[in-house]
Amino acid sequence: MVLEEGALAPDFTLTDESGNGVTLSQINEPVVLIFYPADWSPVCSDELSVFSAARRLFDDRGARLLGISVDGMWCHQAFRSQRNLSFPLLADFEPKGAVAQSYGVYRNEDGISERALFVLDRTRHVSWKEISPLGENPGADGALRAVEALS
């Protein structure tokens, strides 16, 4: 079951593309979690490029962007570099999809996550969420409006 608005988001520590651990509970600002199926897929590439282009808008509102997929650190490193992405990509790699499962967005039949956005407030509560079809880029507008509503 997908994590509902108002729920306390599960804490996690995942490795970013540089090998650094990122722990959700150590972030003291709103967070946009961008769950996406896979590096290198056309729709994921477009979606993450949109968020990268909008990063300054999120920064100006005090929110942090974090991309999450089941791909490993090395894949994230190459993908982030090739796509010139400006925010961390976290590896929900081992155990595969454990964080996506805790948010209710892991697709067991495919071994990937749903295309899902969660906006968390400073206390790690879900203030907004959106699940999109795998082949559809949801853009950044909804998440940006949700972040603005936190101000």
Where do we find the tokens 């791909």? 71
- Residue whose C-alpha is closest to residue 123's, from 150, 145, 86, 94: 150
Label residue 96 exposed, middle or buried (CB < 10 Å: 0-12, 13-18, 19+): middle
**Token duo for residue 127:** 């203030």
| Rounded Cα–Cα distance for residues 73 and 50 (Å) | 21
- Residue whose C-alpha is closest to residue 105's, from 124, 118, 119: 118
Catalytic entry in 31, 44, 116, 140: 44
Known catalytic membership, residue 75: no
Identify whether the C-beta of residue 93 lies closer than 8 Å to the C-beta of residue 13. Answer: no
Residues annotated as catalytic (active site), given as ranges: 44
